[in-house]
């Protein structure tokens, strides 16, 4: 063999072409006597998918498997790449006592350029350039797939060019595969359910709220947004969603790859499919009538609910952006600050309001229609899991024409008592009368005195509710006494 020249090394093509090899037995290459069965998605009879809103899903995959009496090495493909192998269960629905599990292995380290080349370290390979095929011994390969080879005693670092390899060694797989070692009492077909948990499945609720021109009613539509990054497509699956906060232990399992997300919306032709809600344990279940396909690397939306006429109420809340603590010492008479007024949209989740169903946690986007038929986006907020007959409040933004000013009118400390006096001015620049709730928070052993009526909401909060006529101003005066220990 002649020595390779430096010029030839630079002329070699930079691409790496690996000669394709035949699929090898999955399961780590163990020498076990038994019948090998390849069971893929074609043997699937049924698929059920339960998705939780905590990045986890329960898969129940039913397949028809023809067992032979004795040991069977069943290679199951078409499973989620992100499955938790410790959560797998097998059960024969035909005859549970006729099949006994010996062991199972989940091989998700599929063949790749890196793993393949590592298998040939110390072995003979061939480099190909300009039609010339040259023998070389592979010395090492790094994490980026760069090679060090020995050609006739010369060490070549990262030689460019095409690579030809001998036949594929045993123990390599071309797709994530579960190898199930099972003993069968008789030769017969079984309907087998494979159940497991997988990460990469998640769902959330997205709501669209369209407010009418008078702010007195809204059309509320809820959508389920299903995100599948589990590494497999669930074809014609029975879909069930679980709303609730389930307890899970922290996982130390490393991520096995990222998925690229695309957006796919459910066709309106499937409008006859709907979610049926019912309680289950301490959670709520939403089961989809019919079947649907959840593709890998897909965001899928399916309509959850629709309420065309939900009564709504617009509220204004004026509160200080930061809470005041008892040890605050920067107050002085005449000090003032401007406060924004929050605009809150209130909905009653009651049957008489057109709802009255458990609302899963999610994001609500609010739009407003005008008399001319146009529509504007006016804000968004998130809701937590909301049972029926509860109130939903959405903070959609700050009111432009409602201004609050908080003025310190007096401040002094006498022995162990702190005394503060305030004047809060609420200015309404709108051409309509409004109601404003003014919220104040205190800490410590405090009492409030005011000529205005107020409600003590909790141990730290009081609320004044005032009517503010159009284009006018209302003042709230109060005094706070706080005892220190």
∠ CA(141), CA(143), CA(145), 5° rounding? 50
User: What mean pLDDT, rounded, does the chain reach?
Assistant: 81
DSSP-based three-state secondary structure for 50: strand
- Give the pLDDT score at 255: 42
Backbone angles phi, psi at 237, to 5 degrees: -95, 150
Among the listed ranges 128-137, 395-404, 437-446, 475-484, which one has the minimum average pLDDT value? 128-137
Residue pLDDT, tens place only, 73-91: 998 888 888 888 888 999 9
Q: What's 335's DSSP letter?
A: -
User: For the chain, what percent of residues have pLDDT higher than 90?
Assistant: 43
Distance CA 239, CA 302 (A): 11
Residue pLDDT, tens place only, 211-244: 998 888 999 999 989 999 998 999 999 999 988 6
Q: How many CA atoms lie within 13 A of 304 on its CB side?
A: 29
The mean per-residue pLDDT over the stretch 247-266 comes to 46
Does residue 403 register a pLDDT over 80? yes
Higher pLDDT, 260 or 275: 275
- Give the pLDDT score at 26: 36
Q: Which residues neighbour 284 within 8 Å (Cβ) at sequence distance 6 or greater?
A: 242, 243, 244, 277, 278, 358, 360, 385
- Give the pLDDT score at 250: 66
Higher pLDDT, 117 or 301: 301
Q: Is 249:197 a contact under the CB 8 Å cutoff?
A: no
Class of domain 6-21+112-164: mainly beta
The residue ranges of every structural domain in the chain are 6-21+112-164, 310-483
- The pTM (predicted TM-score) of the whole model is 0.68
Closest listed residue to residue 286, CA positions, set 205, 352, 208, 350 = 205
Higher pLDDT, 174 or 236: 236
Does residue 256 register a pLDDT over 60? no
Q: Is 231:365 a contact under the CB 8 Å cutoff?
A: no
Q: Which residues neighbour 212 within 8 Å (Cβ) at sequence distance 6 or greater?
A: 218, 368, 369
Does residue 473 register a pLDDT over 90? yes
The mean per-residue pLDDT over the stretch 164-168 comes to 79
Q: Is 223:306 a contact under the CB 8 Å cutoff?
A: no
Residue pLDDT, tens place only, 42-76: 999 999 999 988 889 999 999 999 999 999 999 88
- Give the pLDDT score at 236: 93
Does residue 475 register a pLDDT over 70? yes
- Give the pLDDT score at 421: 93
């Amino acid at each position: 063999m002649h020595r390779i020249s430096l010029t030839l090394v630079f002329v070699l093509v930079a691409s790496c072409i690996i000669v394709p090899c035949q699929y090898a037995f999955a399961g780590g290459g163990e020498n076990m006597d038994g019948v090998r069965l390849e069971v893929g998605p074609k043997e699937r009879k049924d698929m059920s998918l339960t998705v939780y809103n905590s990045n986890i899903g329960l898969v129940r995959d039913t397949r028809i498997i023809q067992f032979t009496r004795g040991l069977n090495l069943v290679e199951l493909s078409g499973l989620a790449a992100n499955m938790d192998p410790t959560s797998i269960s097998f059960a024969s629905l035909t005859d549970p006592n006729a099949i006994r599990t010996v062991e199972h292995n989940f091989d998700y380290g599929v063949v790749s350029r890196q793993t393949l080349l590592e298998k040939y370290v110390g072995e003979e390979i061939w480099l190909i350039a300009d039609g010339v095929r040259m023998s070389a011994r592979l010395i090492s390969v790094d994490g980026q797939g760069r090679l060090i080879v020995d050609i006739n005693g010369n060490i070549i670092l990262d030689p460019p060019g095409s690579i030809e390899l001998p036949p594929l060694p045993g123990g390599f797989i071309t797709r994530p595969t579960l190898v199930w070692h099972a003993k069968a009492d008789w030769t017969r077909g079984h309907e087998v359910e494979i159940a497991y948990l997988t990460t990469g499945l998640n769902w959330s609720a997205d709501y669209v709220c369209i407010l009418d021109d008078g702010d007195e009613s809204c059309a509320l539509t809820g959508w389920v947004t299903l995100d599948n990054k589990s590494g497999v497509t669930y074809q014609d699956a029975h879909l069930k969603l679980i709303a609730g906060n389930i307890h899970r232990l922290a996982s130390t399992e490393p991520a096995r790859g990222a998925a690229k997300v695309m957006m796919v919306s459910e066709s309106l032709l499937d409008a006859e499919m709907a979610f049926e809600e019912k309680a289950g344990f301490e959670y709520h279940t939403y089961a989809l009538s019919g079947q649907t396909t959840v593709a890998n690397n897909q965001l899928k939306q399916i309509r959850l609910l629709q309420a065309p006429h939900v009564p709504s109420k617009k509220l204004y809340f004026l509160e200080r952006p930061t809470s005041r603590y008892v040890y605050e010492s920067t107050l002085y008479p005449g000090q003032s600050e401007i406060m924004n007024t929050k605009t809150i949209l209130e909905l009653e989740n009651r049957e008489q309001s057109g709802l009255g169903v458990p609302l899963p946690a999610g994001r609500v986007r609010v739009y407003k229609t005008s008399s001319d038929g146009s529509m504007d986006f006016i804000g968004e907020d998130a809701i937590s899991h909301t049972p029926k007959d509860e109130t939903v409040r959405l903070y959609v933004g700050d009111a432009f024409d409602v201004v609050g000013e908080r003025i310190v009118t007096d401040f002094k400390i006498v022995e162990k008592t702190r005394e503060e006096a305030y004047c809060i001015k609420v200015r309404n620049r709108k051409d309509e009368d409004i109601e404003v709730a003014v919220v104040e928070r205190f800490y410590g052993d405090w009492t409030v005195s005011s000529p205005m009526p107020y409600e003590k909401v909790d141990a730290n909060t009081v609320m004044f509710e005032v009517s503010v006529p159009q284009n006018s101003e209302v003042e709230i005066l109060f005094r706070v006494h706080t005892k220190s220990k």
